Structure 1
Amino acid sequence: MKQSQTIREYLSAIPPENTATRVAFFLAGFLMAIWAAMVPFVKVSLGLDEAHLGMVLLCVGLGALVVMPLCGGIVATRGAKFLLNKAFFIVPFLLYGVVFSSNTLLTAALLFVFGMVFGAIDVSMNVHAVEVDRRSEKRLIAGFHALYSLGSVVGALAMATLLNVGIGLLYAAGVWLLICIIIWGFSVNSLLPDAGKAQGVSQSFVWPRGFVLWLGLICFLLFMVEGAVLDWGGVFLVEEKSAAIENAGFAFAAFSTAMTLMRLIGDKLIAYAGPRNCVRYGCLIGALMLTGCVLLPHVWLVVVLFFALGLGLANVIPIAFASTADQNKMPMSLALAAVTTLGYAGLLTGPALIGFIAKVTSLSTALLMLAAFLVIVSFSSNIFRQK
């Protein structure tokens, strides 16, 4: 009896806006995992080859890049809750529309709008998270990002479970999308109504400068590394380390698993070591791990190094996002929108840049270039707070 009372007291002591923020990050990852599970079905149903599928998938990223710079101004005038309230209800319907679509142009249009709405979620969700983190007595930002990763894993398993027992995509996606709508309906009213609002904001977008621009460039480089591991990690194992093609997925699996685990304890680590040290030594570890991936020949040792790479870089992005509140040159919502946009640009352009460099030189050389970028970020860590 006492134990159940203790649990209830603990749960009731958690501010509702903290729980709502955690739900938002979890659902965002869950929804993106549903979309990832749908991609092979879209390819088959539309009869697309790899090149045309790539063009269709690019619509998601382009939609996000179009809307992200504008979201800061909307959040500054209306609050993060205004966008989150609408966007999380719109995304499931857009994804379900893709399930029904049998026309390539219609699918591309739906995915472009999906990218726009998800881009709005990304910016407003992070603005709300930074505001909740700022008002809290303890660090929360890394834990929020961990729940996005956890939501991705749970979403992938949820879709795979229904599809593997013979339930078609129409019903599998429909069930989980409906559950997402219901969960968000119970959570949305707990969001802070004033998160991200700023007085006297007349511009929808302000070009970042100084500290904010440097944060954006750091996010650009970090997201570039993430995109490279996602798109090129498996290719690197197969072509450079002679791994069996069936084992190609272990590179990104190890990296993403490590990021999730480290972010679950990241808030305590940041509170203990400080943001500056976490960025400095995390990026140095990342640079060493990428260099080791190039120099060491054994496949499974390289997979371990990809895991260690994820451990090192896990908390750098959350720290950079939270640091937008540590300046007064521009409203936090506008700053975070600019930083997020630059980061997303790195995620989209990074794999293409890696491919170009790999063609001119080698994939190993491209990874060493990424290691050099991480060293630059490490030496730039003095812009972050010590504690």
Structure 2
Amino acid sequence: MDTRASTRPSEPRAFITRERVGVALLFLMNGFMVGAWAPKIPEFASRLGVSESALGLMILTFGLGSIVMMPVAGSQIARFGSSRVSKVAAVLLTPTLLLLTFVGSVWTGAVAIFLFGGLLGAMDVAMNANAVSVEKHMRRSIMSSCHAFWSLGGLIGSSTGGFLIDHIGVSAHAILVTIAAVLMIAACWRLVLHDAPHPDDEAHAAGRRLPRSALPWLIGIMALFCMIPEGAILDWGALYMRNELAATVTLSGLAYAAFSLTMATMRFAGDLIRDRFGAVMTLRVCAVIAILGLLLIGFAENTPMAIAGFALAGIGISNIVPICFSAAGNLPGMAAGVGLSVVTTMGYSGILVAPSGIGFIAEHTGLAAIFAGLSLLIVVALFLSPLAKHADNAHH
């Protein structure tokens, strides 16, 4: 279905529309739920009496939930449209944090965490597909800023979570987060762009099959190879600073803070940059900056040099994944949700699965070699950069 028909010719490139606000609120709510969960993990583990290794399995269950539900969401988007799937997933996701707060056994905990991960993943695919529809509707890039709102939601959820749990308790925090999520869903409900697929649409007809075209899988490799370094920085950055560069606890924390700050800032700027220079050029410049950042981390001789590397890596990685998602949602002859479900599943598996493998390798090589070596993954993304041209299809 051609969504451009509904764009008024008099304002073909408006900067902010109700549809853009609607999808940004979906990203904010999803990120907020993830962020609110992070400070709850220690209490969750102690309540269920699980060891660190068992908690690791629980967190893997969260990842498995996402990986199972993302392709399911993709097929449902092809059938019902991204707006309906986004809303249903958001509504079902809202009570899951309460569920995680009140479960009393390991098995019910595992079910709750699988549902939480699964619904977050399903909503993720649907809201990214909706962002692609809004890009077509507005004929301008918005994907990077949507991902910036997700980061902002995560920051709000995680930064307030610990404070609220300390001051008002675990249950009250979960109730407050749930109310906030309900308010965000209510605010965006009528704003989200309705994009039900046309019954005669060729992409709709093929929508519930896994794509045979190599394109979504190659774009998925780009997303995967950019999200593995992101997961490595999240899980291993502070440890690398402390153990191998003898940084203080405060300076160690600055590693991820520098990465997050530059990433969020560049994501808010990314859409304007992409509209000005095109997706392929933007991705190539970002990839080169990311490679330099990762090499700087790996070869750092002191903490300021490493922090500069983390900041550079944030600038570089910031807009590669949003461009990959835009490209996946605009592949010719394919429903947005189907291409996106492949790319999001492959990409997020990089954050969910790779960090444990990195820990195993790091025991033998040290983390400095890991960070330097991860730059090779971005080199592969650089070689695949011509595929980013599909992200510009939204404007035509």
What TM-score, normalized to structure 2?
0.89
Cα pair 2:216 2:328 within 8 Å, conserved:
yes
**SS, match of residue 164 in structure 2:** helix
1:19 matched to 2:21 = yes
1:192 matched to 2:193 = yes
Q: Which runs of 5+ in 1 are unaligned?
A: 1-11
Query: 1:384–1:362: structure 2 CA closer, same or farther, 3 Å change rule?
Result: same
Map of 2:344 onto structure 1: 340
2:296 and 2:161 mapped to 1: Cα distance? 35
Cα pair 2:295 2:309 within 8 Å, conserved:
no
Output the amino acid matched with 2:165: L
Per-residue deviation, 1:159: 2.3
Cα pair 2:85 2:126 within 8 Å, conserved:
yes
Cα pair 1:94 1:110 within 8 Å, conserved:
yes
Cα pair 1:281 1:378 within 8 Å, conserved:
no
What TM-score, normalized to structure 1?
0.91
2:325 and 2:15 mapped to 1: Cα distance? 26
1:90 and 1:251 mapped to 2: Cα distance? 35
Report 1:133-152 matches (<5 A). 133-152=135-154
Cα pair 1:123 1:337 within 8 Å, conserved:
yes
Map of 1:92 onto structure 2: 94
2:188 and 2:378 mapped to 1: Cα distance? 38
Map of 2:164 onto structure 1: 162
Map of 1:9 onto structure 2: none
Map of 2:53 onto structure 1: 51
**SS, match of residue 168 in structure 2:** coil
Percent identical across equivalent pairs?
A: 28
Map of 1:33 onto structure 2: 35
Map of 1:179 onto structure 2: 180
Match for 2:315 among 311, 316, 325?
311
1:270 matched to 2:270 = no
Query: 1:104–1:247: structure 2 CA closer, same or farther, 3 Å change rule?
Result: farther
Q: CA RMSD in A?
A: 2.0
1:107 matched to 2:109 = yes
Output the amino acid matched with 1:150: L
Report 1:282-321 matches (<5 A). 282-321=286-325
**SS, match of residue 178 in structure 2:** helix
Map of 1:216 onto structure 2: 220
**SS, match of residue 194 in structure 2:** coil
1:91 and 1:75 mapped to 2: Cα distance? 17
**SS, match of residue 189 in structure 2:** helix
2:376 and 2:161 mapped to 1: Cα distance? 38
1:243 and 1:213 mapped to 2: Cα distance? 40
Cα pair 1:163 1:169 within 8 Å, conserved:
yes
Cα pair 2:298 2:370 within 8 Å, conserved:
no
1:150 and 1:374 mapped to 2: Cα distance? 25
Output the amino acid matched with 2:195: D
2:109 and 2:190 mapped to 1: Cα distance? 32
Cα pair 1:131 1:196 within 8 Å, conserved:
no
**SS, match of residue 94 in structure 2:** helix
1:129 and 1:76 mapped to 2: Cα distance? 15
Per-residue deviation, 1:86: 1.7
1:51 and 1:349 mapped to 2: Cα distance? 15
Match for 2:236 among 232, 235, 242?
232
Per-residue deviation, 1:336: 0.7
Map of 1:204 onto structure 2: 208
Map of 2:10 onto structure 1: none
Query: What whole-Å deviation, never above 9, does each CA across 1:76-100 have from its counterpart, x for those lacking one?
Result: 1111122222221222211101111
Cα pair 2:48 2:106 within 8 Å, conserved:
yes
Cα pair 1:71 1:204 within 8 Å, conserved:
no
Report 1:113-128 matches (<5 A). 113-128=115-130
Per-residue deviation, 1:203: 5.4
Aligned length: 375
Runs of 4+ in structure 1 deviating by more than 3 angstroms, as ranges, are 195-200
Cα pair 2:325 2:343 within 8 Å, conserved:
yes
Match for 1:351 among 342, 355, 360?
355
Match for 2:261 among 250, 257, 262?
257
Query: 1:246–1:102: structure 2 CA closer, same or farther, 3 Å change rule?
Result: farther
Per-residue deviation, 1:301: 2.2
2:197 and 2:34 mapped to 1: Cα distance? 24
**SS, match of residue 38 in structure 1:** helix
Per-residue deviation, 1:368: 2.1
User: Which segment is superposed worse, 67-76 or 85-94?
Assistant: 85-94
Output the amino acid matched with 1:301: M
Map of 2:9 onto structure 1: none
Output the amino acid matched with 2:173: A
Query: 1:203–1:385: structure 2 CA closer, same or farther, 3 Å change rule?
Result: closer
Query: What whole-Å deviation, never above 9, does each CA across 1:231-275 have from its counterpart, x for those lacking one?
Result: 111121122212134543222121111110111111111112221
Query: 1:65–1:53: structure 2 CA closer, same or farther, 3 Å change rule?
Result: same
2:275 and 2:121 mapped to 1: Cα distance? 29
1:69 and 1:262 mapped to 2: Cα distance? 29
